[in-house]
Amino acid sequence: MEDRSYLKDKKRIVVKIGSSSLTHPQTGSLNLDKLERLIRILTNLRNQGKDVVLVTSGAIAVGRKALGLTERPKERSVKQACAAVGQARLMMVYQKLFSEYNQTTAQILMTKYTMINEISRNNAKNTFSELFARGVIPIVNENDTVSTEELDLDFGDNDTLSAIVTALVEADLLILLSDIDGLFTDDPHKNSEAKLIPYIPEITDDLIGMAKGTSNSVGTGGMTTKISAALIATASGADMVIANGDDVRNITRIIEGRQVGTLFVAHKKPDFNMMDYISKKQYPANGR
Range of the domain at 214: 5-287
Residues of the chain above pLDDT 90, percent: 52
* The predicted structure's pLDDT at residue 148: 53
pTM attached to this predicted model: 0.89
Q: Please return the burial class of 260, using the count of CB atoms within 10 Å of its CB with bins 0-12, 13-18 and 19+.
A: buried
pLDDT band of residue 155 (cuts 50, 70, 90) is low
pLDDT band of residue 282 (cuts 50, 70, 90) is very low
Domain count, the chain: 1
pLDDT band of residue 251 (cuts 50, 70, 90) is very high
* The predicted structure's pLDDT at residue 14: 98
Please tell me the distance from the alpha carbon of residue 25 to that of residue 80, in angstroms, as a whole number: 22
157 has a pLDDT exceeding 90: no
69 has a pLDDT exceeding 60: yes
The residue that leads in pLDDT, 271 or 138, is 138
- Asked if 242 and 178 count as a contact pair (C-beta separation under 8 A), the reply is yes
pLDDT band of residue 175 (cuts 50, 70, 90) is very high
Phi/psi of residue 21, each to 5°?
Answer: -85, -15
19: CATH: 3.40.1160.10
- pLDDT tens per residue across span 92-120: 999 999 999 999 999 999 888 888 888 99
At 108, is the secondary structure helix, strand, or coil? Answer: strand
Please tell me the distance from the alpha carbon of residue 89 to that of residue 62, in angstroms, as a whole number: 7
The residue that leads in pLDDT, 179 or 151, is 179
